[in-house]
Structure formats: structure tokens, C-alpha cells
Chains A and B, each alone.
Chain A
Amino acid sequence: MITLRINGLDVTVEKGTTVLEAARFLGFPIPTLCHMEGLSPYGACRLCVVEIGQEPRTRLVSSCTYPAEEGLKVRTASARVLKARKMILELLLASCPQSKIIQDLASAHGIRTQRFKQEHEDCILCGLCVRMCEEQMMAKAIGFRNRGEKRSIGTPFDVKSDACRQCGGCIYVCPACQLRCTYAEPEKAICGGCANLSPPCVEKEPFDDMMCYMDPCVACEIDKKIDKR
């Protein structure tokens, strides 16, 4: 058993427990994006940053991958953590502004405007789909390809994979909700009718007084495009 101190509270956990699990056990909220119960920790999004160590020598680590250590001092909501987390969210939002999951996280952290150029990427490389496919569906149909700015998710050689059983698991977990596994036959894709790409305001008559936390918002941009036509 290991005892560590999170936000001033001592907690004793089993060896191998991550800081994230320990903090959640105590009820301290830590936002996560690429973490999911049942999948191995991956540490891609960095959203779960916490500050460890004693002043003045503290550092930021991703709590979902950091194992609990005896006597470790953790702060989950220090000024430094909040600043870093906000920046990470702003960057995530810039790369994938259409993602409902990221929008929700951003709004929950008080992000009201976008400072950075919107890229409208269709993937944030969180690796959830790859781990889902491998660890829960036992399929290993999709994976990371290339590296650096060319890094992408997909099947080998970009053709329909024999290993894929079209379970839709990868789409289910994806915060950007794209059909990764159906390159060849998109019409066969199983998709849960995702609400990601159609925020409610798009369907309704444009409400001038509608409360919206996003500025600019993809939905509004789609609207503008429709208007122009």
C-alpha cells in the first residue's frame, strides 16, 4: 500500500494505482479526454495534468499515466495546473472545434472565445479508437500510421481491414467522431447517429437570443455558409 497526499488529504492506495484514480477516489475532479476505464492509459491529451512535488520544485505530469508514489504531494487545481489545462483545451478546441466533447470541456473551463486559428482536424490523435479496437474488440484493425505532422489513424494500406468486425467501437469512443474503419465502404458503417456535427441551434430557426458559449462556433459558421448560397 502506498500513501500519498492529494490537495492536503492523505490517501492510501494499492501499488500500481495512478494519481488520477487516487484523486478521483477522493472526489477531486480531474478532466480527462484520452482516458477511459477499461483501456490502458495513454497520456496523449495532457488534459489531466496535475502538479506534483514540493515548492519550489514542482512539475506538471499527466495524472492518468503517473503511478502513485509513497509520500507524493499532488495538487490537482493549483494556479499552474489551471493555466496549463486551459491552454491545452484552447489548443484542442482550435484543432477540433466541431467536437462536442471538446466544446463541453472548454465551456466547463470557462473558455468563451477562441484565440487560435481553427483547424477543423478530424482527429486529435488521442488513440482511444486504437486502444478500443485492440483491447476491447480484440481486433487490431486500426492503428497509427506515419509520424509527425503526417501521423494518422487508419487501416493498413488504407483498405478495408479483414480484422475489422464493424462493431463501431472506434466511432463510439471517438471525441471527433469520424468513421476510421470503413475507408472502402462508408455506407456499411455503423454509426450511432452522433449529435456531434449538428448542434441543436443548427436545426432550429436561428435564435438571436440563444445562449451560446462558443464564439465563433462551427454551427454558426455552417449557418453563414448556408446563408451565402
Chain B
Amino acid sequence: MKKEVLVSDIAPTESCRHPDMTNLLRIINKHNAAGGGLIAILGEIQDEYGYLPEDVLRIVSDQSGRSLVDIYGVATFYRSFSLKPRGRHLVCACLGTACHVRGAPRIVDELERQLGIKAGETTADKEFTLETVNCLGACALGPVVVIDGRYFSKVRQSRVGQLLDEARNGFDSAEAAKDKRIFALNVNCPHCNCGVMDETFALDGLPSIKVNVSHGGKEGALWLSCLYGSYSVAAEFDIPANVIVPFCCPHCERELTSASTCSMCSAPMVHMLVQGGGTIQICSRRGCRNHMLDVA
């Protein structure tokens, strides 16, 4: 079978035809209670879809009892909300006064040249979206460029290409090795106590954790990065965002689902034993990053 590698933190960018109603209601009800929370709702929807689709905003208006005018006003007011689908990677260059005098226009020109798009546009392959902001509050470090939430200071024209390359390959892989807070875990099945590490399939350059999952009548293997703090995953078949998948041990085939539910999205948690003592729990909803590590 062809192994398709999917990196978990890709926001879906296609226009959303059938918004997932239950999930939307969950998001709306979570923040709507206090009467406020519109920005929180929009923020979570944007995390989910990568942008704010029109039909979803209309649903938010119907369900939360707010007028569409107010929602649209807020969604267009803030630069961080986008009504257009964005690419996989978001490149945001500061064009504020301080960055401007330190040469930000040249950086933007260079970004535009290398990506072949203008600011505010997305590349045809949906890889990059280039945006500009007016001050990120880090003026002393200008010119500032933010790529996928990472800040780069005193960016020079000559560094632009390298930054884009790093973004393309994923910063996670580049930085995991350096970061002390990221460490490898070896885990066992809590039922049969067999190791579930797969030496033959590497993720982040290390043996991965292999489990069996099923979705939509298909069954197959799912590999998780063993690095604590890395969210890389690979699967034999495509699992859409937001679905909850049952995880099974590849040896005894028993379900790894634990009794507890995710504190963020209330999906069931999956638990495994950490070799050397302790447990790790991860959320079984695709795209949810909640996890709990309890090392003895």
C-alpha cells in the first residue's frame, strides 16, 4: 500500500462545502454563554478551516443570535482574520514605521519575488500566503517577518530564501533536535504491555509509535512521532480533520481508548504506557492536540 504522509498541522484550505455542524455548534456554545466571545468563536473557526468561510459565518450568525453585520464587521476589522482561503504557510511581513525605515519594503519585495505573488495573495500551489501588517510590537527587532507563528527578527534580504525553505520543510523538524523540552518517548500497549514502537517507519528521524486505526470502513496503520511536543503523524489512509478515530494496539488489537475525555473537545482520550513508568494520553480527534503526560 502506498504510504501517504500527512502532517497534522495543515489547516484545510479548500472552501468548505459541508461545514461540520456539530463541531460548529460546539465551538459556538463553548464561547457564546457569556454573551461575548465572538472573537474567540471566530478564532477557533479560523484554526479549524484556515480562514472564515462565508457559509460558516452565516451559520454562526443564525446559531449565536448575533447579526451578520456585527460578525462581518469584526471579521474584517482584524488583520488576523481572513475571509479568503490561506495557503499552508502564512508569511506575514511587518511594514510598520520602524520596520519600514529598517528596510521592510525590500524584504516584502524579495518575498513577493521569490513567491511570485503580491502581498495579500496565495501561491497557486496553495503553499504560501503573503500578508503584511502594520507593526507587531517588536519594533526594535525590525524588520520582523512572522512565518507560521514564528517570529524572525532583523531579517535581511539574503535570508529570505532560507526562511522560505525552512517553512516549506516545516520548522518542527528543524527545531525538534535543538529544543531541550522536546524528548523522545517509548511507549507500550496498556493491555498486552508489548512495545508499539515501529523501527521501520521513521518520523522526525526517530522510530515512530504505530497503532491501528479505522475510519469509514477502512483500517490501517497510523504512525505518531515519538517526540514529545511534535505533532507529526502519518497514516495509510486519509483521515479528515475533526473525526474521532478508535486507536487499537497492533499486537493484541484491543482498543486503547481510556475512560477519560479530552478537556478541550470532549472526544475520548487514548492512553498508552511510557516505558520506564508513567502514562501518556492523547486526544483521539484528528487535529486536536490535547495530550497529558504523566511520568512516574
Contact = CB atoms under 8 A, between A and B. Distances in A.
Interface of A: 140-147, 155-157, 161, 163
A144 B73 CA distance: 6
B69 A143 contact: yes
B19 to A, nearest CB: 16
A157 B76 CA distance: 10
Interface in B219-257: none
Contacts, number: 32
B140 interface: no
Interface in B68-84: 68-73, 76-77
Interface residues of B, number: 11
Interface string B50-67: 000010010000000001
A143 B72 CA distance: 8
B70 A143 contact: yes
Decide if the interface of chain A is mainly helix, strand, loop or mixed.
Answer: loop
Contacts of A155: 69
B241 to A, nearest CB: 25
A163 B69 CA distance: 10
A143 B71 CA distance: 10
B67 A157 contact: no
Contacts of B68: 140, 156, 161, 163
A147 B80 CA distance: 13
Q: Which 10 pairs from chain A and chain B are nearest by CB?
A: A143-B69, A156-B72, A140-B67, A156-B68, A145-B76, A146-B76, A143-B73, A140-B69, A147-B77, A144-B73
A167 to B, nearest CB: 16
A141 B69 contact: yes
A157 B58 CA distance: 11
A159 to B, nearest CB: 9
Given A143-B72, A156-B57, A156-B72, 4 more contacts: A140-B69, A145-B73, A145-B76, A163-B67
A155 B73 CA distance: 10
Contacts of A146: 76-77
Nearest to A144: B73
Contacts of A140: 67-70
Nearest to A159: B54
A155 B61 CA distance: 14
A9 B73 CA distance: 43
A136 B106 CA distance: 50
Nearest to B83: A157
A117 B254 CA distance: 77
Contacts of A143: 67, 69-70, 72-73
Contacts of B57: 156
29 contacts: A140-B67, A140-B68, A140-B69, A140-B70, A141-B69, A142-B69, A143-B67, A143-B69, A143-B70, A143-B72, A143-B73, A144-B73, A145-B72, A145-B73, A145-B76, A146-B76, A146-B77, A147-B76, A147-B77, A155-B69, A156-B68, A156-B71, A156-B72, A157-B54, A161-B68, A161-B69, A163-B67, A163-B68, A163-B69
Nearest to A148: B134
A147 B73 CA distance: 9
A142 B72 CA distance: 10
Nearest to A162: B68
